[in-house]
Chains A and B, each alone.
Chain A
Amino acid sequence: MVDYKPQYYPGGSNIAANRRKYIDPNYQLRKLRTISDDDLVRLMGHRVPGEAYKSVHPPLEELGEPACPIRELVEPTPGAKAGDRIRYIQFTDSVYFAPLTPYMRAWMGHMRYRGVDIGVLSGRVPLEARERDLEKVAKELVETEIFDPARVGIRGATVHGHALRLDENGLMFDALRRFQFDKNKGEVVYVKDQVGVPLDRPIYVGKPIPEDELRRITSQFRVDGEPFRNDVELIQFVQRIHMLRTEAGFDPNKVKDI
């Protein structure tokens, strides 16, 4: 057996260390709040709490799968087994020290969750999966330290705001005003679901994480925080990949032992 220990991410900065931590599936994300299953379902808006899952095809057992060695080997997720529709949760992460960057959501998600489809855009990151699988994943994404109620938004549409300045309460801009700051409770409260449909009752998602704590747990490099240029090891790593890709494109036989 070879001596191999997964390392997940290079770099010598605290930011790189945070990235390593979040990507590593053995690190248990700190739980900061509890959102009930029903509230999560209401926030996503794909079905009414208690409603049966709609399906896009019959359960696999009824369907009868084609003879394929890979299908015989690979265990389908519970949602795939039942024939659930594929649904999504989408996040917007503010550039102001939100815990995750868009890319981190994909790296982390693919390392931790099975059968997920994650797409990364500058201002939004959708995660798609079979509906009952999605609900399980979404719970961890919303209840733990990677979700700051003020600087992370659950936004299915009109996601604009990730690069805009924060409001007087420290909340990220949201054109649809899905979330508000409840001054009496000191908590962020969702009054609309992820696509902006008003909720029948508000859903509290907890207090914003304090600025100094955010700066400590963030995975974002910033010139007014921990600048990317200070992490020489990471810069050299990125340059190495760029160099190797380019040299290999010219002649892969010449790239040896470097």
Chain B
Amino acid sequence: MAKYPDKVNLYDDRGKLFDTNVPIEALSPLKNTAIQKIISYVKQCVAVNLEGVEKALATGEVGGKWCIIRGRSLKLDLVKNAGSVADSLKKCLQVDPDDDTEVKVLKGGKHLLVKVPAKRLNAGVEYTTGTTAVAAALCCTIIENFNVNIWDADLVHAAVWGRYPQTMEMLGGNVSSLLAVPQQNEGMGYALRNIPCAHIALIAKKNAMNAAALSSILEQTAMFEMGDAIGNFERFHLLGLAYQGLNADNIVYDLVKENAKTGTLGDVVLSTVKRALSDGVIKPLKKTPSGYTLYTTSDLNKWNAYAAAGLLAGTMITCGAARSMQHAPSVFIYFNDLLERETGLPGVDFGRVAGTGVEMSFFSHSIYGGGNPAVFHGNHIVTRHSKGFTIPCVAAAVALDAGTTIYTPEKISGVVGEVLSEVPELRESLRYVNEAAVSIKGGI
């Protein structure tokens, strides 16, 4: 028996109908098997920069930039022998011979995509197992395969792990995961929010719909982990994930299409109000003496979801027209300001997105330092306030940028985004989540 009565139609990233009458609970991280798989992959998948290890060993530059140990170097042909390194690494990581361990050689041996077996993670309580297991196994593999002696083994450790444990994280290391070390999470349940939008945009190969979907999945799943999406607020988050992140009822795509050629941000606001009115989500409450009509709703959660879908469409129109990511925070403030003034109803996340936009504007426009939108994430001190509704728009904006920033998403992301884009469930999350929802909808 479904907990909530809501049913949605699912669409793909090009506005094509996928299935109808799907209960929103089929999109819940608690039930959707594809979302659960995505979360597992985020923990299990680790990127190895084999070229980076080779370079660090050759130059003695280990543990971060400019940190060179003079007189120490080791010339090992890691990239050339990536195939055998991958085989040995896989054997080292495997728990059982036919388990889910995978090691994939990418870019002619420069990078490795490693999937740590789930059994290793299940035997611990911390998600860091993925990174630590791969780093340690890689050290063992290099030492074994290349006959490194006891006097040089420490250099291998530094080339792989970076300056850790002198630093909290693997500073200058060559093994990385999407997730930061737990000490860098700003509060309980923030792990999935601590992923910069640069990674997300690159994983989705700059497909703005898939970037927004993956970001929304990670953000809204984090809401369950943080203690937000429960009780009175569960439906609020489920509808937000469905309509903003997963293009439910094709609202995001329709709003973008309607304003694609000449629309302004204001036009998207008006289109959003029109759609909410025609779908019966909002209705006129009363006319004020000046002739202004105040609107009301009997379902504020659904209004929020429509507004959130409009916000993403507004970002896609503004940042898409300018092919520039820097417009995103301005959209967050003024989409909501204009929407509130158009209807008399609260904006996305009841004011929290607008507030987030104010701070993000300051910290993304060189006023008080900060960085471009690609460095922001849901754990960032100026963008954590909205409960999952801001960051998907930032990810979409980053995906739509044509190259206006000094620090590009590629530079910020390093190898992680590029390597993890090899995982289909992460790259095209919308499709996989839709498929899983359809397969489980009968049981909801």
Q: Which residues of A contact B (CB under 8 A)?
A: 1-2, 4, 6-12, 16-17, 23, 25, 56-57, 60, 63, 65-71, 73-77, 79-80, 83, 86, 103, 106-107, 110-120, 128-130, 133, 233, 237, 240-241, 244-245, 248-249, 251-253, 255-258
Chain A CB within 8 A of B351 CB: yes
Which residue among B233, B289, B290, B333 has the maximum number of chain A CB atoms within 10 Å of its CB? B290
Which residue among A25, A63, A65, A114 has the maximum number of chain B CB atoms within 10 Å of its CB? A114
- B298-A257 in contact (CB<8A): yes
- A106-B337 in contact (CB<8A): yes
Which residue among B278, B335, B345 has the maximum number of chain A CB atoms within 10 Å of its CB? B345
**Distance in Å: Cβ of A209 to nearest Cβ of chain B:** 26
Write out the residue numbers on chain B whose beta carbons fall within 8 Å of the beta carbon of A112.
264, 266
Instruction: Given A76-B321, A112-B266, answer yes or no on A107-B260 (Cβ-Cβ < 8 Å).
Output: no
Which residue among A73, A129, A240 has the maximum number of chain B CB atoms within 10 Å of its CB? A73
A65 CA / B400 CA spacing, docked (Å): 9
- B316-A114 in contact (CB<8A): no
Write out the residue numbers on chain A whose beta carbons fall within 8 Å of the beta carbon of B256.
70, 73-74
- B404-A56 in contact (CB<8A): yes
Write out the residue numbers on chain A whose beta carbons fall within 8 Å of the beta carbon of B320.
70-71, 73-74, 76
- A248-B350 in contact (CB<8A): yes
When C-beta atoms are compared, the residue in chain B nearest to A129 turns out to be: B322
Chain A CB within 8 A of B370 CB: no
A80 CA / B292 CA spacing, docked (Å): 37
Closest CB pairs A-B (n = 8): A111-B266, A74-B320, A57-B403, A115-B322, A115-B321, A66-B206, A117-B327, A70-B208
**Distance in Å: Cβ of A66 to nearest Cβ of chain B:** 4
Which residue among A60, A70, A111 has the maximum number of chain B CB atoms within 10 Å of its CB? A70
A152 CA / B236 CA spacing, docked (Å): 44
**Distance in Å: Cβ of A125 to nearest Cβ of chain B:** 11
Chain A CB within 8 A of B110 CB: no
Instruction: Given A60-B402, A74-B317, answer yes or no on A110-B278 (Cβ-Cβ < 8 Å).
Output: no
A23 CA / B304 CA spacing, docked (Å): 24
Q: In chain B, residues 372-431, which have Cβ atoms closer than 8 Å to a Cβ of chain A?
A: 396, 399-400, 402-404
- A1-B265 in contact (CB<8A): no
- B400-A71 in contact (CB<8A): yes
Q: In chain B, residues 269-299, which have Cβ atoms closer than 8 Å to a Cβ of chain A?
A: 269-270, 273-274, 277-278, 285, 288-290, 292-294, 296-299
Write out the residue numbers on chain A whose beta carbons fall within 8 Å of the beta carbon of B264.
25, 110-114
A113 CA / B233 CA spacing, docked (Å): 36
| Further pairs besides A11-B292, A111-B265, A115-B322: 8, Cβ < 8 Å | A23-B338, A25-B266, A69-B208, A86-B324, A111-B264, A115-B321, A115-B327, A119-B330
Partner of B337, one of A65, A69, A107, A251: A107
When C-beta atoms are compared, the residue in chain B nearest to A127 turns out to be: B330
Write out the residue numbers on chain B whose beta carbons fall within 8 Å of the beta carbon of A9.
341
A252 CA / B387 CA spacing, docked (Å): 14
**Distance in Å: Cβ of B103 to nearest Cβ of chain A:** 27
When C-beta atoms are compared, the residue in chain B nearest to A19 turns out to be: B341
When C-beta atoms are compared, the residue in chain A nearest to B290 turns out to be: A12
Write out the residue numbers on chain A whose beta carbons fall within 8 Å of the beta carbon of B396.
70
- A74-B260 in contact (CB<8A): yes
A213 CA / B293 CA spacing, docked (Å): 30
A-B contact pairs, 11 of them (CB 8 A): A10-B288, A10-B292, A57-B403, A67-B205, A68-B206, A110-B318, A117-B322, A130-B322, A237-B294, A240-B344, A252-B233
Which residue among A8, A76, A110, A114 has the maximum number of chain B CB atoms within 10 Å of its CB? A110
- B324-A70 in contact (CB<8A): no
**Distance in Å: Cβ of B363 to nearest Cβ of chain A:** 12
- A233-B324 in contact (CB<8A): no
- A12-B288 in contact (CB<8A): yes
- A7-B330 in contact (CB<8A): no
**Distance in Å: Cβ of A114 to nearest Cβ of chain B:** 5
**Distance in Å: Cβ of A84 to nearest Cβ of chain B:** 9
Chain A CB within 8 A of B346 CB: yes
Write out the residue numbers on chain B whose beta carbons fall within 8 Å of the beta carbon of A106.
330, 333-334, 337
**Distance in Å: Cβ of A26 to nearest Cβ of chain B:** 11
A56 CA / B402 CA spacing, docked (Å): 9
A170 CA / B304 CA spacing, docked (Å): 47
**Distance in Å: Cβ of A164 to nearest Cβ of chain B:** 22
A77 CA / B262 CA spacing, docked (Å): 9
Write out the residue numbers on chain B whose beta carbons fall within 8 Å of the beta carbon of A69.
13-15, 207-209, 253
Instruction: Given A69-B13, A74-B320, answer yes or no on A233-B289 (Cβ-Cβ < 8 Å).
Output: yes
When C-beta atoms are compared, the residue in chain A nearest to B345 turns out to be: A244
- B298-A7 in contact (CB<8A): no
A142 CA / B334 CA spacing, docked (Å): 22
Write out the residue numbers on chain A whose beta carbons fall within 8 Å of the beta carbon of B335.
110
When C-beta atoms are compared, the residue in chain B nearest to A108 turns out to be: B266
Write out the residue numbers on chain A whose beta carbons fall within 8 Å of the beta carbon of B206.
66, 68
- B260-A56 in contact (CB<8A): no
Which residue among B207, B324, B344 has the maximum number of chain A CB atoms within 10 Å of its CB? B324
- B207-A57 in contact (CB<8A): no
- B293-A7 in contact (CB<8A): yes
A133 CA / B404 CA spacing, docked (Å): 15
A49 CA / B402 CA spacing, docked (Å): 26
Chain A CB within 8 A of B257 CB: yes
Instruction: Given A110-B338, A115-B318, A119-B365, answer yes or no on A245-B350 (Cβ-Cβ < 8 Å).
Output: yes
**Distance in Å: Cβ of B397 to nearest Cβ of chain A:** 11
- B321-A77 in contact (CB<8A): yes
A25 CA / B9 CA spacing, docked (Å): 34
Write out the residue numbers on chain B whose beta carbons fall within 8 Å of the beta carbon of A23.
266, 338
